[in-house]
Amino acid sequence: MISPRPGPAWTEFIEIVSDRTDGSWLFRGQTEAVWGLSPSAGRPQKLGPAGYRANDEREMFLAFKREAIRFEDRLTKDLEWLALAQHHALPTRLLDWSTNPLVAAWFACENEESSAAGGLHMIWVPAHEIADEVDDPFDPTLRGVTLVRVPPRAARITAQQGLFSLHPDPTAEWDPRSAPVRYEKLEIPAAEKPYFRQALHAFGINRGRLMVDLDGVCATLAWGYRTRT
């Protein structure tokens, strides 16, 4: 059921992000507000009984590169390959962020099966704290979380106006308040998620625009068919 009118969370969301349009804020949406900021390569549900081993993570990435070269031949750096893997659901040490708060809100609300409140994470980052390149994302000497831009050769990165946080220890939950950033968080009640999806779709934010493939197009059309009145 589509919420007929915006609730307080939508109003608060618009008020908050309207003051964060200078490009210095990054946004991340998560289906459940209780989730922390930890990349998928270190999450218990992704690890299985063997637990986390850095060598296993790197071997998985190298296997991805060997297979993915059949479908993608424009990428030249490991960070670009890692970003591509992230956008195709391979467990990685990256977390997605966007300079567009509407994109982040969509990711917080797009799962229609979730009955939990969504979370919108917001960080203000000085420009000099965002790296333009990391030679080896698996370098064992890396310390602390790094925010990094990736050249937008992958269509999804461009569509989602994306950047990444790179986590040398994927098993550690990141607390941005310990970094040189300003951090805030907004919860989106589950009851308001349908209105968010409707409003964001009206603004052109949907799976078809963000995923940039036929699966995304068909998922958006199917959603419209399912929610029509």
Q: What tens digit of pLDDT does each residue of 7-22 get?
A: 899 999 999 999 998 8
Residues in contact with 27: Cβ distance below 8 Å, sequence separation at least 6, in sequence order: 17, 97, 98, 99, 100, 101, 103, 104, 105, 120, 121, 122
Q: Give the pLDDT confidence score for residue 137 in this predicted structure.
A: 95
Strand order in the sheet with 146-148: 130-131, 146-148, 162-166, 94-98, 25-30, 118-124, 182-188
Is 208 a residue whose pLDDT tops 80?
A: no
Dihedral angle over CA of 142, 145, 146, 148, nearest 10: 120
Residues in contact with 55: Cβ distance below 8 Å, sequence separation at least 6, in sequence order: none
| pLDDT digit string, tens, across residues 99-137 | 899 999 999 999 999 999 999 999 998 888 889 889 999
Q: Give the pLDDT confidence score for residue 71 in this predicted structure.
A: 82
| Residue 144, Cβ density class (10 Å: 0-12 exposed, 13-18 middle, ≥19 buried) | exposed
Residue 216's pLDDT band (boundaries 50, 70, 90)?
A: low
Q: Give the pLDDT confidence score for residue 158 in this predicted structure.
A: 52
Is 139 a residue whose pLDDT tops 70?
A: yes
The residue written with tokens 């956008």 in the block is 87
| pLDDT digit string, tens, across residues 28-71 | 999 999 999 999 999 998 888 888 999 999 999 999 988 888 88
Q: Give the pLDDT confidence score for residue 1 in this predicted structure.
A: 46
Q: Give the pLDDT confidence score for residue 3 in this predicted structure.
A: 54
Question: What whole-number distance in Å separates Cα of residue 141 and Cα of residue 117?
Answer: 37
Letter for the amino acid at 79?
Answer: L
Asked if 155 contacts 82 with a C-beta cutoff of 8 angstroms, the reply is no
Of residues 59, 65, 23, the one with CA closest to residue 41: 59
Is 196 a residue whose pLDDT tops 90?
A: yes
Residue 217's pLDDT band (boundaries 50, 70, 90)?
A: low
| pLDDT digit string, tens, across residues 147-182 | 998 776 655 555 456 789 999 999 999 998 876 678
Q: Does 28 or 4 have the greater pLDDT score? A: 28
How distant, in Å, are the alpha carbons of 30, 145, 154 from that of 212?
20, 28, 10
Q: Give the pLDDT confidence score for residue 26 in this predicted structure.
A: 94
